[in-house]
Every structure is written in structure tokens, then in C-alpha cells.
């Protein structure tokens, strides 16, 4: 090739590069202009928030940020920009609401019940289960599932809660004197309890798969969380080429393996029983168990008072006992409905709901109980008060707790609530707006299509609602200190039509599990609370592990030496 040809080629490639750069710049410029002209952009920018980059908005904020730094970063933004903050994820408007009156507008609505696109990452795992489904499917499944958490059914679970709590207490004996991660134990016992209560699966057919399941769920949450804030992982076609995808496939094999096994065994039992003319126990029969025979009608718990402001279908179900004869526990109902065609539910839908209940019911309470124990490990004075209350109820006996006992655990209940306030296991939830909506703060109009994030963690730590929001103080929930506080300033279980169906189940189970552990052990944390490293992998956890030490407890009140 001559020198002239070479020179011509170089000029050509320089021209190509120039043309391509011009093309890319023009496309980006048009994209930017289009964004700026959009209705969403104009309305969204009336709301305060940090400056973003053109086109990307704030999508690159998470670049290089470690997962454990996201929670403190979010809290900093909440403090800096006030109770309504907007951000842009590309051209998507994201609005964070921290004012309880605004939160009520969204959560109490029958219209804004659709989950945001972030929940789609759950789909390979939970399908269209209750957590992510919408429209008629969600409505009809919610109507079917909520009554299976009726208070009388829960009372019949007290025996199983006790038995498994005792088992984990015995197992934890081998940890005495060591520093260990209490979450491993809380996670395993929670899966076992769920299998036995909600799924009605006999302990005999359970095996080590409960522990493998719990570990797989934790890793799945980590993957989904990374997909939330790393924009390149959001795109399915890119995600498929990453090692995360491979890991997800093997984790889902473990998770779905267990749920399929559970459903198969329940179905076989149902068919076998049906052939012999045996039907699953109804609510009436369940209520005849000794644990549920306590006469405690009319007794009020703290939960009754705190959640009074957002009464939901769970309360309505408990008060309206029509149909008690027909009411069944969760999986019995699903299987029977599928077999008889009553509720028109397919086998695939049963699997989705079982996966959903197993996930929602497990990781949340495992984190909640682990946080309570770690906080009591730090705050020895509060632990002493909890123990004194338990001593008053049980003395030095080993007897299991009854439902009536749980109503006496008033201080423990305040401790649980304060833990859920400062360390809500679900630190935030998100909705996609179907229609424009006007909120209370500055009468802002949030446009249809916007994603609304409700960060419970930030709301629960707002000084406007709690005097010393970063100080662990169960007395925040004394009636005199709760007076005048907006109901939506404490929403660990969300609120409104899409509130947590497992709220009453969770609170009862936590009281029995925690009281059983604390009657046998004094828990000690060498890590002060300020050094807890919070990480919000969908469920709030400690990135540094829920490290604790156990000391066998001498059964006597704290003031007797």
C-alpha cells in the first residue's frame, strides 16, 4: 500500500470516529431534551432532591458504594432534604415519602396497591405470589389467605411455637461461652416453625433441607438487592451473563426443591386421608387443643392499641367468626381448594403462595428476633426488666408459655416494638402509582408512573415522632409517650390493604421464642449498638453478623442476689 493510500485510510477512520461521536452525542442530547420535556420530569422536579446527571439521573450514585454504606447514605439524604425527596433513575421518577400523613395517602389507598418494578426481580422465585401480584389475582388470593391467620388458628400454634423454641434453646447450649451468630439459629428455628404451622408438615419428614433453605434465601436476597441498585444487573440480558445468574439458578433449585416437597407431601396426605374419609382439622377442632383453651377474651395487647389506627382485614377476620367451622390452616386450605375447585387455585399458584409465605414468614422474623437478642445483649438493664417480667409470670418453672402468658408479656412486647422501630426487618417498600395523587406536604402532585418509596427505617427514626430517635428505649411505646403520635409513624408491617398478613403470627411467635430463650440464658453482646453495621438486603441485617455470647441464667429476679 502506498503512503497516499495509508494517509487516506487514516483520514477515513478519523472521519468514522467523528461521525459516530456526533451520532452518539445527538442521540444523548435528544434523549436528554425528551426527558426534560416529559410531564414526569416537569412534575418531578417541583419536588426537592439532589442534583442528578443528565440522562442517568442518580443511577450512578450506587457505583462503588458498598452495600453496608447504603443505609447510612439513605439516612443522610433523608436528614438533608426533608420528608419528601425525589431522585431520578434514568428517566424514572423515584419519590421517597417520610411524612406519615403522606404515607397514609398511599398505603391506605385501594388504588395505589401495585408494587414497583423492583419487585419483578422476585418473579423467578415467588412467581405471582401475594407479595407481588396485583389486581383481581391479588385481591382474591388475599381474601383466601388472610383468614388462615385468624387469631384462633394462631392460638392453636402455641404448642408448636413452644416445642421448637425449646429445641433451639437446647441446641444453643453448645454455644455457651463462645461468640456466635445467633441469626443462624433464629433462621433455622423459624423455617422449622413455618413448616409445621403454616404448612402443617410433620417434624418427622423435615430434614437438614430447612437449614439449606434458610441459607439459600439469604443469598437470593443479596442477589435481588444488588439488582436493585446496580443498573447493569437490572437488565435481564446482561444479568444472564453474570455469575449471579448461575448462583441464582442453583439457589432456586434448593428453595423450590423444599417447597415442592412440602406441597407434594401435603397433597399425598390429603388424598390418602380423603380416601379414608378423614378431613383436615377445622378451626373448631384446632381450638379444642389445650393451648387455645385459655379464657382471655377481651384482653388487650400493646399491638391492639398501636395498630388500632390502621385496622385491616386481619382485624375484621378476627372479629367476624362466621365460617369458623370451615376455616383451615394455610396449606390445608390451599390444597383442599385446589382439589375441590372451591377457590379456583392451580397447583402453580399454590407453589407461588407457599414460596411467598415461606420467604415473608421466615427471613423477617429471623432478623427481628436476632435484633431483639443483640439489643438486649447490649442493654443489660433492659434485659433485666424483661427477665423480671418473665419471672413474675413463670417463676422458676420450666413450663411452656400459654397464650394467656403472652398477654402478660407487656414489657417484652414494648422491647419487640422498639426493635421493629429502630431495626425494621423490612426497611422500605415501594409502589408504582397508577394515577396522579396529591399528598399533604406542600400539596405536591405525584405523577402517575412514579415509583414511591416508603423508607420505614428513616420514618421510624424521625425526631418529630420519637424524642431520641437513635436511642433504644422501649418506653417509647408507653401509652403516655405514644399519645398524639401519628399511626403511620410506626409501620414495620406496612399498613392498609396490602399490610403484612403475618403480623399477628409474627408477634405471637416472637414472644414465645424470645421468652423461652431469655428464661434460660442471659445474652451478652461485646459489640456496642453504634457499631452494628446495617445492611438492607431486602431484609435488614447486620453485615457484621448477629454476634452474641450466652450465659446460663440463674432463675431469680434481677434484684435478688
> What is the 3-state secondary structure of 256-290?
HHHHHHHHHHHHHHHHHHHHCCCCCCCHHHHCCCH
User: What's the closest the beta carbon of residue 442 comes to ligand HEM, in angstroms?
Assistant: 25
**Residues in 474-533 at the binding interface with ligand HEM, rule: CB under 6 A:** 492-494, 498, 500-502, 505-506
| Residue 374 marked ligand-binding | no
Nearer to ligand HEM, 57 or 502 (CB): 502
Q: Which stretch binds ligand HEM (CB under 6 A): 35-43, 361-369, 395-403, 478-486?
A: 361-369
User: What's the closest the beta carbon of residue 31 comes to ligand HEM, in angstroms?
Assistant: 31
- Phi, psi (rounded to 5 degrees) for 111: -95, -45
**Cell (9 digits) for 538:** 431486602
**Residues in 162-221 at the binding interface with ligand HEM, rule: CB under 6 A:** 198
**Residues in 387-426 at the binding interface with ligand HEM, rule: CB under 6 A:** 425-426
User: What's the closest the beta carbon of residue 216 comes to ligand HEM, in angstroms?
Assistant: 18
Nearer to ligand HEM, 262 or 506 (CB): 506
Nearer to ligand HEM, 91 or 369 (CB): 369
Residue nearest to ligand HEM (CB): 502
Nearer to ligand HEM, 43 or 366 (CB): 366
User: What's the closest the beta carbon of residue 372 comes to ligand HEM, in angstroms?
Assistant: 10
How does strand 451-454 pair with strand 92-97? parallel
Residues in the chain: 561
Which whole-number Å values give the CA distances from 538 to 221, 222, 227, 337, 490, in the listed order? 6, 8, 11, 32, 19
User: What is the contact mask toward ligand HEM in residues 305 to 344, using x (rule: CB under 6 A)?
Assistant: ----------------------------------------
**Residue 157 DSSP symbol:** T
User: What's the closest the beta carbon of residue 48 comes to ligand HEM, in angstroms?
Assistant: 25
List, in order, residues 6 or more apart from 240 with CB less than 8 Å away: none
Closest CA to 393 of 408, 383, 413, 407: 408
For residues 296 and 454, what is the distance between their CA atoms, to the nearest angstrom? 36
User: What's the closest the beta carbon of residue 454 comes to ligand HEM, in angstroms?
Assistant: 8
Is residue 427 a contact point for ligand HEM (CB under 6 A)? no
User: What's the closest the beta carbon of residue 29 comes to ligand HEM, in angstroms?
Assistant: 38
Nearer to ligand HEM, 373 or 429 (CB): 429
User: What's the closest the beta carbon of residue 492 comes to ligand HEM, in angstroms?
Assistant: 5
Name the E strands within 352-408: none
SS3 358: helix
For residues 529 and 461, what is the distance between their CA atoms, to the nearest angstrom? 15
User: What is the contact mask toward ligand HEM in residues 124 to 163, using x (rule: CB under 6 A)?
Assistant: ------xx----------x---------------------
**Residue 53 DSSP symbol:** B
User: What's the closest the beta carbon of residue 277 comes to ligand HEM, in angstroms?
Assistant: 31
The correct pick among 328, 354, 357, 373 for binding ligand HEM (CB under 6 A) is 357
**Residues in 31-70 at the binding interface with ligand HEM, rule: CB under 6 A:** none
Nearer to ligand HEM, 458 or 501 (CB): 501
Nearer to ligand HEM, 256 or 522 (CB): 256
Contact 466, 478 (CB under 8 A): no
Count of positions on this chain that bind ligand HEM (CB under 6 A): 23
DSSP string over 96-115: EE--HHHHHHHHT-SS--PB
Q: Which stretch binds ligand HEM (CB under 6 A): 55-63, 163-171, 307-315, 364-372?
A: 364-372
- Any idea what the Cα angle at residue 536 is, between residues 535 and 539, rounded to 5°? 120
User: What's the closest the beta carbon of residue 368 comes to ligand HEM, in angstroms?
Assistant: 4
Closest CA to 306 of 188, 413, 197, 457: 413
Closest CA to 91 of 137, 43, 163, 145: 43
For residues 172 and 168, what is the distance between their CA atoms, to the nearest angstrom? 6
Burial of 157 (0-12, 13-18, 19+ CB in 10 A): buried
The correct pick among 52, 100, 368, 474 for binding ligand HEM (CB under 6 A) is 368
Query: Which parts are annotated binding residues for heme?
Result: 500
> What residue ranges bind ligand HEM (CB under 6 A)?
130-131, 142, 198, 356-357, 360-361, 364-365, 368, 425-426, 429, 492-494, 498, 500-502, 505-506
Amino acid at each position: 500500500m502506498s503512503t497516499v493510500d495509508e494517509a487516506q485510510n487514516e483520514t477515513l477512520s478519523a472521519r468514522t470516529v467523528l461521525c459516530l461521536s456526533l451520532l452518539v452525542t445527538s442521540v444523548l442530547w435528544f434523549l436528554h431534551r425528551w426527558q426534560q420535556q416529559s410531564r414526569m420530569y416537569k412534575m418531578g422536579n417541583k419536588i426537592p432532591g439532589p442534583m442528578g446527571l443528565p440522562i442517568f439521573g442518580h443511577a450512578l450514585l450506587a457505583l462503588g458504594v458498598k452495600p453496608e454504606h447504603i443505609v447510612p447514605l439513605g439516612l443522610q439524604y433523608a436528614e438533608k432534604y426533608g420528608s419528601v425527596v425525589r431522585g431520578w433513575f434514568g428517566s424514572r421518577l423515584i419519590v421517597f415519602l417520610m411524612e406519615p400523613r403522606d404515607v397514609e395517602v398511599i398505603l391506605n389507598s385501594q388504588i395505589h396497591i401495585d408494587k414497583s418494578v423492583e419487585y419483578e426481580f422476585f418473579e423467578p422465585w415467588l412467581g405471582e405470589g401475594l407479595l407481588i401480584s396485583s389486581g383481581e389475582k391479588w385481591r382474591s388470593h388475599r381474601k383466601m389467605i388472610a383468614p388462615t391467620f385468624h387469631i384462633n388458628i394462631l392460638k392453636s400454634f402455641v404448642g408448636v411455637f413452644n416445642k421448637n423454641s425449646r429445641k433451639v434453646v437446647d441446641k444453643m447450649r453448645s454455644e455457651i461461652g463462645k461468640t456466635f451468630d445467633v441469626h443462624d439459629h433464629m433462621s433455622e428455628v423459624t423455617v422449622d416453625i413455618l413448616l409445621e404451622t403454616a404448612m402443617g408438615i410433620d417434624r418427622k419428614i423435615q430434614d437438614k433441607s430447612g437449614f439449606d433453605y434458610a441459607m439459600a434465601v439469604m443469598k437470593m436476597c443479596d442477589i435481588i438487592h444488588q439488582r436493585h441498585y446496580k443498573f447493569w444487573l437490572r437488565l435481564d440480558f446482561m444479568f444472564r451473563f453474570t455469575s449471579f445468574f448461575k448462583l441464582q439458578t442453583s439457589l432456586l433449585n434448593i428453595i423450590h426443591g423444599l417447597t415442592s416437597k412440602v406441597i407434594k407431601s401435603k397433597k399425598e396426605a390429603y388424598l390418602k386421608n380423603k380416601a379414608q374419609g378423614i378431613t383436615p382439622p377445622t378451626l373448631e377442632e384446632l381450638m379444642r387443643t389445650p393451648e387455645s383453651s385459655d379464657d382471655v377474651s377481651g384482653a388487650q395487647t400493646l399491638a391492639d392499641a398501636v395498630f388500632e389506627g390502621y385496622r385491616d382485614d386481619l382485624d375484621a377476620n378476627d372479629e367476624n367468626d362466621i365460617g369458623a367451622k370451615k376455616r383451615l390452616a394455610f396449606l390445608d386450605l390451599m390444597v383442599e381448594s385446589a382439589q375441590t375447585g372451591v377457590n379456583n387455585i392451580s397447583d402453580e399458584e399454590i407453589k407461588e403462595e407457599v414460596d411467598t409465605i415461606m420467604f415473608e414468614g421466615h427471613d423477617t422474623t429471623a432478623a427481628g428476633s436476632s435484633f431483639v437478642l443483640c439489643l438486649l445483649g447490649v442493654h443489660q438493664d433492659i434485659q433485666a426488666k424483661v427477665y423480671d417480667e418473665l419471672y413474675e409470670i413463670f417463676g422458676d418453672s420450666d413450663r411452656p408459655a400459654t397464650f394467656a402468658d403472652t398477654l402478660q408479656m407487656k414489657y417484652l412486647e414494648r422491647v419487640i416494638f422498639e426493635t421493629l422501630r429502630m431495626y425494621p426487618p423490612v426497611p422500605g417498600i415501594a409502589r408504582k402509582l397508577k394515577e396522579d395523587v396529591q399528598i399533604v406536604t406542600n400539596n405536591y402532585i405525584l405523577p402517575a408512573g412514579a415509583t414511591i418509596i416508603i423508607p420505614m427505617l428513616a420514618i421510624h427514626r424521625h425526631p418529630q415522632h420519637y424524642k431520641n430517635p437513635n436511642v433504644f428505649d422501649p418506653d417509647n411505646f408507653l401509652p403516655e409517650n405514644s399519645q398524639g403520635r401519628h399511626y403511620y409513624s410506626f409501620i414495620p408491617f406496612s399498613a392498609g390493604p396490602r399490610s403484612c398478613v403475618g403480623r399477628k403470627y409474627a408477634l405471637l411467635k416472637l414472644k414465645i421464642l424470645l421468652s423461652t430463650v431469655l428464661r434460660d440464658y442471659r445474652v451478652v453482646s461485646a459489640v456496642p449498638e453504634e457499631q452494628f453495621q446495617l445492611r438492607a438486603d431486602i431484609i435488614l441485617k447486620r453485615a457484621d453478623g448477629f454476634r452474641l455470647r450466652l450465659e446460663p441464667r440463674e432463675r431469680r429476679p434481677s434484684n435478688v442476689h
